[in-house]
Amino acid sequence: MNEQVLSLRLQVVADQLPAGANFADIGSDHAYLPCYVCLNDSDAKAIAGEVNEGPYQSALREVKEHNLEGRISVRKGDGLSVVKPGEAEQVVIAGMGGTLIAEILEKGIEVLDYTDRVIAQPNVDAKSVRKWLIANGFQITGEKIVEEGGHIYEIVIADRSEGYHNDTFSERELYFGPFLLKEKSDIFRKKWEEENQKLKYVFSQMRKASKPDNQKLDRIQKEIKWIEEVLENG
Ligand SMILES: C[S@@+](CC[C@H](N)C(=O)[O-])C[C@H]1O[C@@H](n2cnc3c(N)ncnc32)[C@H](O)[C@@H]1O
């Protein structure tokens, strides 16, 4: 993968940006996503944010190599602290856990006041991201699920909602993703079949503990029940 040929996962993320995007990619690593977007759209511009020195240097190198310094600003810092309110109309946070993504969104709430769209690709725990978005003035407007290199990735697209709030989702819908649950694609089924096996294993191991965590066991049991219901029903 590089900035000219993106991984399928990042390609699907890139596809959620509008033409002429003005976005921040937080946790940009090599800045492949902003470079790809700017190389393919002469009106696009981006901020590539990175907290770690190694990936920050990689991002600087990549941007320089493509002479994109005028359109991609590479900044070092934690989460959305590198973006000033009003600087980015879209925010991408991809390739991290859902809890970390939700934390970054929470800390960057002032920047998000000026953001129309958030595109999040949590590697695990997408529910935390959906919950945060809905509780903070965003409406989930789309979801994607892709399989690549033996992994299955979920992408959540949320737009700032002025009037209508679709915050009536059940815990179950937030767990599976309201759009993904409706669609129930083959990849979605595969993901939850795998997750079911994992949860059953964890459940059996946890039950053997000398002092089982009953609260956690109940939660896992509830999730297994949800998954089996979803897989059974069409
Ligand atoms: C697994 S990489 C994902 C890179 C790229 N976004 C992608 O999806 O391919 C996660 C990146 O996020 C960076 N990161 C982690 N926590 C961060 C934070 N709080 N602020 C900015 N960057 C962060 C890491 O240094 C790492 O480069």
Q: Cα separations (Å) of 228 from 57, 189, 197, 224, 231?
A: 46, 10, 11, 6, 5
Residues 153 and 191 in one domain: no
Residue 55 CA: nearest ligand 1 atom is 27
Q: Give the domain extent around 119.
A: 8-165
Flag whether 224 is in a domain: yes
Tell me how long the chain is.
234
Flag whether 209 is in a domain: yes
Flag whether 116 is in a domain: yes
Residues 213 and 147 in one domain: no
Of all protein residues, whose CA lies closest to atom 15 belonging to ligand 1? 27
Per-residue pLDDT of 43-99, as tens digits, reads 999 999 999 999 999 999 999 999 999 999 999 999 999 999 999 999 999 999 999
CATH of the domain at 24: 3.40.50.150
Flag whether 172 is in a domain: no
Per-residue pLDDT of 120-150, as tens digits, reads 999 999 999 999 999 999 999 999 999 999 9
Of all protein residues, whose CA lies closest to atom 22 belonging to ligand 1? 27
Token pair for residue 146? 């892709």
> Hey, how many other C-beta atoms are within 10 angstroms of the C-beta on 63?
25
